[in-house]
Amino acid sequence: MDWQDEGLILGVRKHGETSAIIEAMTAKHGRHLGLVRGGRSSRMRPILQPGNFVSLQWRARLEEQLGTYTVEAGELLAANLMRSQLGIYGIQTLASHLRLLPERDPNIGLYNAAHVLMDNFEHPEIAASLMIRFELVLLEELGFGIDFESCASTGQTHDLAYISPKSGRAVSKLEGKPYADRMLALPAFLNKYEEGWGIVPQLEQINQGFKLSSFFLDRHIYNPRGMKHPDERHGFIKAIAKLT
């Protein structure tokens, strides 16, 4: 077995005296582990850092084996990420999210979304909105998508203000007002039918967005698996709050 791909390094662990096992989210082969011989050398250590994009060649006798990676440097972002709490928590949060996907299950959409997110960790409001969108896409890819398209009661596409925690569907401002204390707010930057669509959100909308994604991550992913939100995600949200 032999393939070539590009990937984002998510994690690295020592193996023996000189080698390392890396975990990478690849463009075409999903989240994939492999052994890098000589991965602990002075030449390879700066390349094999979480947050770096690299070129990979994977080889194994059988598909189900761990296999070995040959790694070449690509877009090396790790050094810049390590300069700020937002960057450190950001890549750790992203890695935690990608580990929720089945190993070796290709997902080019989330790979590309991760790349865009990585390029924006220096811009807190943009990074926050992209992380929220990433979490919502992740939920959809895992089979638990939220319906932002139309009001669950009337079918209208305008004036959507809430998400029902029960159905995961949008609700208009008028229909949801009597139950507002039981609804989740739909921030304007997530509503493509409103003027706020695509605009960089302020802190209030960022908090609403994280509350929304947190609720459904807990319900559908973390609680059923006996997991909690990763500490790194809490650190990322706190770092956003300090910088916005």
pTM of the model as a whole: 0.94
**β-bridge partners, 54:** 7, 73
Residues 41 and 9 in one domain: yes
Question: For the chain, how big is the Rg over CA atoms in Å?
Answer: 20
Residue 136 has pLDDT above 70, yes or no: yes
Q: CA 209 to CA 133: how far, in whole Å?
A: 9
Cβ(29)–Cβ(103) below 8 Å: no
Which of 77, 93, 111 lies at the terminal end of a domain, its last residue?
77
pLDDT over 70, % of the chain: 98
Residues 110 and 30 in one domain: no
Enter the DSSP assignment of 102. P
The tokens describing 73, both together, are 């440097």
Q: Which domain holds residue 88?
A: 84-148+186-243
Residues 110 and 39 in one domain: no
- Condensed to tens digits (0 to 9), the pLDDT of residues 185-202 reads 999 899 876 665 667 899
Residue 164 within any structural domain of the chain: no
Residues 209 and 141 in one domain: yes
What domain count does the chain have? 2
